[in-house]
Amino acid sequence: MERTRKPQQERAKKTVEAIIEAGFMFISRQSKETLTTTKVADIAGVSVGTLYEYFGNKEEILDAMYARFSEDVTAMLREVTPEVIRKTPDQGILHILQHLREMLSRDNQRYLHCAALLSQNLPEQHVAPIRQVLATLSLQYLSRNPEYINLPNLPVMNYIMTHGGIAALVHQLSSDDPMVTFDELSQGLATMARHMIEGSRRDAEQANP
């Protein structure tokens, strides 16, 4: 027997939506630490009791926000996949990053305003689906561009690119005074991928002339 319920009627869905929305509003002005269920309920225009009908505890509100973000990223990735797999690796990466920036700027830059929260607290549980979709994208890419399949180190390179790339991006986006611009970083990641691929190829040729 669940202690929280799923919204069934239209107004209940609006309520849940308002609560998540209130969460984003609050976080964009204040921090995770100063967030209280009462304040979120107030902003959402509902009572605490109502809030607890749909969210078992405070964390679940944040979880819903993280999930929303994660879904938006994965949706974007799935959407651009067909175009990306037609490009060179570095151009594909640039393509993804341009769409990412566009996505982060939607809704009056909602996500960018919450960058501190998302970069410092996004739990692995919600990052995992993003990695998953990136892995799928890589596979599709290889399937359409088999010339890259034989590269040695491919799994490790992939691992570093996805984990490291996400981290570098997130850090750039949430920094007040970034050491590099988003464009420089995008370009750098794309260039890095190109060099890694070319380098691996050379290594392979060296070993197997």
Q: Interface with DNA by CB under 7 A: which residues?
A: 3, 5-12, 14-15, 35-38, 45-50, 52-54, 56-59
CA dist 54 and 57 (Å) reads 9
Q: At residue 124, what are phi and psi to the nearest 5 degrees?
A: -50, -40
Binding site for a second copy (CB under 8 A): 120, 123-124, 153, 155-157, 159-160, 163-168, 171, 174, 179-180, 184-185, 187-189, 191-192, 194-196, 198-200, 202-203
Quick one: what does residue 35 bind among a second copy, DNA, none, with the CB cut-off 5 to 8 Å set by partner type? DNA
**Min CB(78)–DNA separation in Å:** 30
Quick one: what does residue 85 bind among DNA, a second copy, none, with the CB cut-off 5 to 8 Å set by partner type? none
DSSP symbol at 176 = S
CA dist 93 and 51 (Å) reads 41
CA dist 181 and 193 (Å) reads 18
Quick one: what does residue 8 bind among DNA, a second copy, none, with the CB cut-off 5 to 8 Å set by partner type? DNA
CA dist 25 and 19 (Å) reads 10
**Min CB(57)–a second copy separation in Å:** 10
CA dist 83 and 105 (Å) reads 21
> Judged by CB, which is closer to DNA: 37, or 187?
37
Residue 158, token pair as written in the block: 């992939």
Quick one: what does residue 123 bind among a second copy, DNA, none, with the CB cut-off 5 to 8 Å set by partner type? a second copy
